């Protein structure tokens, strides 16, 4: 497909709306001023209906003039290579951006997502809490020393870290004012608001289509 396209579900239940990970890719495109289209795979049957595009039956995935990528982190880094807004071009700034992007995924989200899942299953004070709190504690210290994670300015690493941290349950343990200010600062960017509003509108349109299909 000869365009940059972000792929998501045609519909999701209300709970995850505003947090579905296509938002990360939408947000990055908005920050970078990249033209993109949004396409869908059906939510119903997701376990098997798009395994050629996303081998775990999940979304998002991205297509860009012959490049096809799953994993939101891989998609973000692909977009960052297209825009200096997302990742500086100097070797030190670029390395810092890569490092903190991976840290968001592999040091923070790797514990926040399982923690959140256990909480969803009714176990809010689960065995992962001390591990997660330790990661958040160290991040609070880092954010006390610097405003942005990499290169002394906003990068895709901040976009991703803030997206991981904006799940408010995750931050509910303890008092971390710098992290709170950081999440507010990064999600206060107009590109985030636009991406979030677009995702909400997308799934509301999915509601209307489902209602129409049910009426027929």
Minimum distance from residue 61 beta carbon to ligand GSH (Å): 8
Residue 161 binding ligand GSH, by CB under 6 A? no
- Assess contact for 186 and 159: CB atoms under 8 A: yes
Residues between 6 and 25 that touch ligand GSH (CB under 6 A): 20-21
Q: Which stretch binds ligand GSH (CB under 6 A): 55-63, 93-101, 114-122, 168-176?
A: 55-63
Residue 69 binding ligand GSH, by CB under 6 A? no
Minimum distance from residue 65 beta carbon to ligand GSH (Å): 20
Give CA separation, 85 vs 79, 95, 151, in Å.
10, 15, 12
C-alpha torsion angle, residues 124, 161, 79, 14 (rounded to 10): 30
Q: The tokens 């096809």 sit on which residue?
A: 68
User: Which one of residues 71, 140, 180, 198 is an interface residue with ligand GSH (CB under 6 A)?
Assistant: 71
Rounded to whole angstroms, the Cα distance separating 77 from 130 reads 30
Count residues near ligand GSH (CB under 6 A): 10
User: Which one of residues 17, 26, 46, 135 is an interface residue with ligand GSH (CB under 6 A)?
Assistant: 46
Rounded to whole angstroms, the Cα distance separating 86 from 162 reads 14
Q: Which is nearer to ligand GSH, 73 or 88 (CB)?
A: 73
Name the residue among 165, 160, 193 with its Cα closest to residue 72.
160
Minimum distance from residue 144 beta carbon to ligand GSH (Å): 28
22: number of CA atoms within 13 Å, CB side? 30
Residue 50 binding ligand GSH, by CB under 6 A? no
Could you tell me how far CA 101 lies from the centroid of its own chain? 11
Binding site for ligand GSH (CB under 6 A): 20-21, 46, 57-60, 71-73
């Amino acid at each position: 497909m000869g365009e940059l396209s972000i792929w998501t579900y045609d519909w999701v239940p209300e709970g995850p709306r505003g947090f579905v990970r296509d938002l990360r890719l939408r947000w990055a495109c908005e920050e970078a001023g990249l033209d993109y289209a949004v396409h869908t795979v059906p939510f119903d049957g997701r376990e098997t209906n798009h395994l050629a595009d996303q081998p775990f039956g999940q979304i998002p995935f991205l297509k860009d003039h012959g490049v096809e990528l799953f994993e939101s982190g891989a998609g973000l880094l692909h977009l960052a290579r297209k825009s200096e807004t997302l990742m500086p071009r100097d070797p030190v700034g670029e390395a810092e951006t890569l490092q903190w992007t991976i840290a968001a995924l592999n040091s923070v989200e790797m514990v926040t997502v399982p923690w959140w899942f256990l909480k969803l299953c009714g176990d809010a004070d689960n065995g992962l809490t001390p591990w997660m709190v330790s990661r958040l504690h160290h991040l609070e210290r880092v954010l006390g020393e610097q405003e942005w994670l990499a290169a002394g300015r906003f990068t895709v690493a901040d976009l991703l870290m803030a997206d991981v941290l904006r799940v408010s349950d995750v931050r509910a343990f303890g008092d971390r004012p710098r992290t709170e200010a950081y999440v507010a600062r990064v999600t206060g960017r107009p590109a985030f608001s636009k991406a979030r509003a677009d995702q909400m509108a997308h799934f509301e349109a999915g509601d209307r289509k489902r209602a129409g299909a049910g009426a027929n």
